[in-house]
Amino acid sequence: MARTLASPVDPIDLVAQARALIPVLRERAAEAEAACRIPDATIEDLRRHGLFRILQPRAWGGYELDPADFFTVQMALAEGCMSTAWVYGVVAVHNWQLALFDPQAQAEVWSDDPDMRIASSYMPKAQVTPVEGGYRISGRWGFSSGVEHCGWVFLGGLVPSADGAGPPDYRTFLVPRSDFEIARIWDTLGLRGTGSQDVIVNDAFVPAYRTHRSKDGFAATSPGLKLNPAPLYRLPFGQIFVRAVSSSAIGALRGALDAFRASAAKRFSSNDFSRSAEDPAVLLLIAETASAIDEMERSLLHNFDVLMTQARADQPFDLEERLLFRFQSAQILDRCAGLITRMFHAGGAQGVYRDGPLARAFADIHTGRTHVANNPDKVGRNFGGVLLGQANGDSFV
């Protein structure tokens, strides 16, 4: 079933290709917002440069690179357009999750087209009926970013226990485009270009091999590991996915900081003609933002270095460390939202226009903060409780 292995690639080249797209993505940002979807030309650019294949298994033509390479590319894209980077992150990370599915499911998606893309909505909305050979599911899921560019979708659902007495089993159901409808309801303040539409399924059959158990992802016992044994695919899914919805904010904040610096270097107040470059508050804000970006990037790279080292050595992943890494990811949008708010205020009245880089970053980052994975409060309370000897209540780590 496996395809010919892809030729080796240099991650540095992939990052360079992503950075070369930054000015193009900036030019297309308004088009993406107006259409509430990423332009087809942008999706083709990402495909043509092989960026979707970074976490894809080599058995199916992917590059099987480290997560640090993937998220470095995502952050670079976000400097040009956070909506593009958001869609890239959540769609391309699905190539990593599909590697955990039964090989038969992988073949159905990638045998004819290794560039086939998968969208998702992990909300446990599926109405599940177990039947011979699999399940029949129905439901409506929201917030499926980039779904209009995808031929398959991952959908969340709870499978009741066999005896009806035990806890339900959370699974991801893999559904082809022929079995779902897209409801174009996306009209938001920020991240408009993500096109995070609703997905509707009416009584579709999903064979058991096209489902993935969350328990297998947590314990690294997924059936796809027989075909894809690389250490990359033994990482906990929670560690990979949460970064896919937080890391784009780091790049967006960097892009906003670059625009803010360029403006502040030549801006004069219309009230007293003072220079922004001599305003102590502006100088401190620039320093604090640059420092925070560096810290968040280094934390991301360090965390995946630790996780990949453990995966290569086939060592167990420490729960407290996983909770720490999860909390650090959840804090990113709060930190970025606070800093972009200060920049937006310091930018003055000229920065309020919707097509301006500060206004766009402000709306996008604050919208990204509403994702459940980017709310640090619940994650932090659980982490703090574990540090005090309480039981862990978060399996998505």
Task: Please check whether residues 329 and 259 belong to one and the same domain.
Answer: yes
Please say which residue of 63, 86, 114 terminates a domain: 114
| CATH assignment of the domain containing 271 | 1.20.140.10
Task: Please check whether residues 362 and 255 belong to one and the same domain.
Answer: yes
Cβ(347)–Cβ(263) below 8 Å = yes
- Number of domains observed in the structure of the chain: 3
Task: Please check whether residues 109 and 165 belong to one and the same domain.
Answer: no
| CATH assignment of the domain containing 18 | 1.10.540.10
Task: Please check whether residues 95 and 79 belong to one and the same domain.
Answer: yes
Q: What is the enclosing helix (H) or strand (E) of 67?
A: helix 67-80
Q: Which residues pair with 223 in a beta bridge?
A: none
pLDDT per residue as tens, the chain (397 positions):
555 566 779 999 999 999 999 999 999 999 999 999 999 999 999 999 999 999 999 999 999 999 999 999 999 999 999 999 999 999 999 999 999 999 999 999 999 999 999 999 999 999 999 999 999 999 999 999 999 999 999 999 999 887 777 889 999 999 999 999 999 999 999 999 999 999 999 999 999 999 999 989 878 899 999 999 999 999 998 999 999 999 999 999 999 999 999 998 877 665 555 677 788 999 999 999 999 999 999 999 999 999 999 999 999 999 999 999 999 999 999 999 999 999 999 988 888 998 899 999 999 999 999 999 999 999 999 999 999 999 999 888 8
- Which residues span the domain enclosing 123? 118-212
Contacts of 38 (CB under 8 A, 6+ apart): 32, 83, 84, 87, 146, 149, 193, 194, 195
Distance, in Å, from the CA atom of 334 to the CA atom of 318, rounded to the nearest integer, reads: 26
Q: What is the enclosing helix (H) or strand (E) of 170?
A: strand 169-176
Please say which residue of 62, 83, 114 terminates a domain: 114
Task: Please check whether residues 358 and 253 belong to one and the same domain.
Answer: yes
Q: Identity (one letter) of the amino acid at 145? A: S
Please say which residue of 61, 91, 114 terminates a domain: 114
Cβ(206)–Cβ(134) below 8 Å = yes
> Considering the entire predicted model, what is its pTM?
0.95
Task: Please check whether residues 106 and 175 belong to one and the same domain.
Answer: no
In a domain, 3, yes or no: no
Task: Please check whether residues 97 and 127 belong to one and the same domain.
Answer: no
Give the pairing type, strands 197-207 and 211-213: unpaired
